Chain A
Amino acid sequence: DAKTTQPNSMESNEEEPVHLPCNHSTISGTDYIHWYRQLPSQGPEYVIHGLTSNVNNRMASLAIAEDRKSSTLILHRATLRDAAVYYCAHSGGGADGLTFGKGTHLIIQP
């Protein structure tokens, strides 16, 4: 079965960069890598996704390893509002539903 692993929690300081890692060692060549974040009592919110190349958007950057077995979500300048659970996920298995990891609880210190 496809498996995605993430650290349970990470802590960072406000206004500093944050690098959130994810291992997806069983990913196949056509599976997209996605990141979502979730606040309490809300549904996951889309952050970024990619296939092979690194990606940037207004929220974050996604760095994908050359062998695609790992990726890193980069928040360039964390704010208190970035405190959330961040999920790494990937598509695959013939359909495009996502397989999620267990998530990383990101704590931002002022």
Chain B
Amino acid sequence: EAGVAQSPRYKIIEKRQSVAFWCNPISGHATLYWYQQILGQGPKLLIQFQNNGVVDDSQLPKDRFSAERLKGVDSTLKIQPAKLEDSAVYLCASSTSTGANYGYTFGSGTRLTVV
């Protein structure tokens, strides 16, 4: 089966600019997650969608980050305006309806560098 697709793979922007990342999950996976992975650390959950509804966005910096999952399939994560500390890899993952009991499939991520 096809994996989780993410684009772009790399992005370099200046601080205060905006940026968007795209994710296409595995077909049929109802749950989609965005994680932020800073160099040398484990991934940190930003937001979880179940179909097109938000389940958990408690760790999403809502003053600058937004995400949507229209039609319950693809998702986009946006940062506006970006800060230097947003430099990280942004990972998308998907799972069946209860990922905790089945495991998660991650994409290769988008590496963001803010200069």
Q: A-side interface residues toward B, CB under 8 Å?
A: 4, 31-32, 34, 36, 41-46, 49, 51, 87, 89, 91, 93-103
Contacts and interface: CB of A to CB of B under 8 A. Distances in A.
Interface in B50-107: 55-56, 58, 91, 93, 95, 98-101, 103-107
Nearest to A49: B103
A32 B100 contact: yes
A97 B103 contact: no
A71 B33 CA distance: 25
Nearest to B45: A97
A-B pairs, top 7 by smallest CB distance, nearest first, are A100-B42, A43-B106, A96-B100, A91-B100, A95-B56, A97-B45, A46-B103
Contact of A43 (B45, B56, B98, B108): B108
Given A41-B108, A42-B108, A43-B91, A95 B43 contact: no
B61 to A, nearest CB: 16
Contacts of A44: 43, 91, 93, 106
Contact of A46 (B44, B58, B104, B108): B104
Contacts of A36: 104, 106
B33 A97 contact: yes
Contacts of A41: 108
B55 A98 contact: no
A94 B56 CA distance: 9
Given A43-B108, A46-B103, A100 B43 contact: yes
Given A43-B91, A43-B109, A44-B91, A98 B104 contact: yes
A36 B43 CA distance: 11
Nearest to A41: B108
A94 B93 CA distance: 18
Given A41-B108, A42-B108, A87 B42 contact: yes
Contacts of A99: 45
A61 to B, nearest CB: 16
